[in-house]
Amino acid sequence: MSEQEFETIYSRTEVRVILLKGLLEQSGIDAMVQNDYQAGITAGFGGGTPNTVRLKVHQGDLEKAKAIVDDFINNQQTDEA
């Protein structure tokens, strides 16, 4: 699979992205974390911002994943209130 077959579905802090990735994987959806900041640090140069990490899913799982992401976002807002 090429990276072009994946779409960004959520972008926030690394902690939230990892939590959501786990929820997606529990539902049988493969997800990929893209962290340009960490990748830049590892390569020896900066890039991106430390608080923005992207979660990507395969285009074929997009609709199913959106429902899980929406539920996750709604629950996060409830927890913050």
Range from 8-12, 16-20, 73-77 carrying the lowest mean pLDDT: 73-77
Residue 22 neighbours by CB distance under 10 Å: 11
Query: How many alpha carbons fall within 13 Å on the CB side of residue 70?
Result: 6
What confidence tens digit (pLDDT) does each residue in 24-75 have?
A: 999 999 999 988 655 445 545 655 555 678 999 999 999 999 999 999 999 9
Q: Which domains does the chain have, with CATH numbers?
A: 3-80 (3.30.70)
- Asked if 55 and 73 count as a contact pair (C-beta separation under 8 A), the reply is no
pLDDT at residue 23 is higher than 80: yes
